Amino acid sequence: MCPSTIVEAAAAVQSPPPPVPPEARAALRAWYLRAARPLPWRAAGEAPDPWSVLVSEFMLQQTTVATVRARFPAFLARFPDPAALADAGAEAVLHAWQGLGYYRRARLLHACAREIRDRHGGRVPRQRAALEALPGIGPYTAAAVAAIAFGEPVVPVDGNVARVLARLHAIARPLTRAMPELRRLAAGLGDPEAPAEGAQAWIELGALLCRPRRPRCGDCPLALGCRARREGRQGEIPVPPPRTARPRRYGRAFLARRGDGRILLRRRPEGGLLGGMMELPGTAWEDVPPGDPPAFPLSGRWSRVPGRVRHPFTHFALELELWRGEVEAPADQPGWYLPAEMAGLALSSLTRRLLRHGGVEPPAVRGARRPSGGAAAGRE
């Protein structure tokens, strides 16, 4: 950690958070009650269901609200409580998670449900420390569940809240560097009169008004107290982080099809990227494009499909060649599926793209949108 960052972090820890004027808190809550989006995990006029809140928070990590809104009702109908998810097999969980991406979250939610079943009597724990001890739950998710589901007056700091606070206080640093100070500032934001609404109001403010680009300051209930707006710097804050080139990896995938129309799929190892998902056979993903002649999984008539399939992951971009082959294989050999039979399989969006590139339309994921080609941050 550089000296300036150490000083910033130390100052953030030592200084108490400033008080929130009651009129500002009331204005924010009133705006939220008028403007809040009707999302399926939000309780309308009734007590929030802790399991619904927890599931939604898992889904919203690195996934847009629009995508989660489409997938959440079916997932919760299939797994209405922790015990239902805990008792399910990994294949069923991954299948239900299709369309949401970042499949490691599905495995962590599955493990979290088992912990709740086995250690907490099937009920989501109320205490933040107990929540943080569950698989896949860190300080942010624990604070969100504690506030929204159990009425603890805290405000979880996600990207939306961090952006709002950076502008309110004109903190001209990248959010990652400013996070200790932003968390200190958030410590005084909880609404003791309406904790759930108060926490969601700050998140909603960043999602709807205090947006990354072209913030709608004229509609903001906190505009009068916003230092960045007073100084005309709301378009410059927060400062973007330095751009780093995303590494690129390369490989080949093979679409092998029998005479009866069945296609060969395999399951990825449980650990690691896309663990447990079904995929087309392929090569390892390397730092350089493949140069040697393809080593096909089966003998047959193979040809390369023109173009490449590109797919973004969090830390690298993937570029694959697709080879399509007409092959022969025993009728009783496992791993062969008709396209219609793939509806019951856990297929990643990468596998779906490869199938489409090869001229095979996989069964639609009910309620999910076709992948748009990029990963997006959650809650917007």
* 128 and 260 fall within a common domain: no
Q: Are residues 280 and 327 in the same domain?
A: yes
Residues 226 and 256 in one domain: no
> For 259-310, what is each residue's pLDDT tens digit?
999 999 999 888 778 888 899 999 999 999 998 888 999 999 999 999 999 9
Q: Above 80 in pLDDT, residue 153?
A: yes
**What average pLDDT does range 359-379 have in this prediction?**
55
- Above 70 in pLDDT, residue 47? yes
Q: Which residue has the higher pLDDT, 195 or 2?
A: 195
Answer whether residue 363 is part of any domain. no
User: Is 184 in the same domain as 267?
Assistant: no
* Host domain of residue 149: 3-230
| Residue 339, domain CATH | 3.90.79.10
- Do both 28 and 98 map to the same domain? yes
Residue 181 shares a structural domain with residue 266: no
Flag whether 176 is in a domain. Answer: yes
Q: Percent of the chain having pLDDT more than 70?
A: 91
175-184, 224-233, 314-323, 360-369, range with the lowest pLDDT: 360-369
Same-domain pairing of 94 and 183: yes
Domain assignment present for residue 273? The answer is yes
Q: What is the CATH number of the domain that holds 94?
A: 1.10.340.30
**HEC string for the chain:** CCHHHHHHHHHHHHCCCCCCCHHHHHHHHHHHHHHCCCCCCCCCCCCCCHHHHHHHHHHHCCCCHHHHHHHHHHHHHHCCCHHHHHCCCHHHHHHHHCCCCCCHHHHHHHHHHHHHHHHCCCCCCCCHHHHHCCCCCCHHHHHHHHHHHHCCCCCCCCHHHHHHHHHHCCCCCCHHHHHHHHHHHHCCCCCCCCHHHHHHHHHHHHHHCCCCCCCCHHHCCCHHHCHHHHCCCCCCCCCCCCCCCCCEEEEEEEEEECCCCCEECEECCCCCCCCCCEECCECCCECCCCCCCCCCCCCEEEEECCCCEEEECCCCEEEEEEEEEEECCCCCCCCEECHHHHHHCCECHHHHHHHHHCCCCCCCCCCCCCCCCCCCCCCC
- Does pLDDT of 13 surpass 60? no
Residue 79: pLDDT band with limits 50, 70, 90: very high
Q: For residue 234, what pLDDT is reported? A: 95
Residue 367 in this model has a pLDDT that exceeds 50: no
Same domain, 195 and 341: no
Q: Give the pLDDT band (50/70/90) at residue 68.
A: very high
Q: Say how many domains are in the chain.
A: 2
Does a structural domain hold residue 242?
A: no
Q: Is residue 364 part of a domain?
A: no
Q: Are residues 223 and 254 in the same domain?
A: no
Q: Are residues 36 and 87 in the same domain?
A: yes
Residue 306 is assigned to a structural domain of this protein: yes
For residues 375 and 282, the model is more confident at: 282
Whether residue 219 sits in one domain with residue 265:
no
In a domain, 372, yes or no: no
In a shared domain, residues 107 and 254: no
- The answer to whether position 260 is within a domain reads yes
**Catalytic machinery residues:** 57
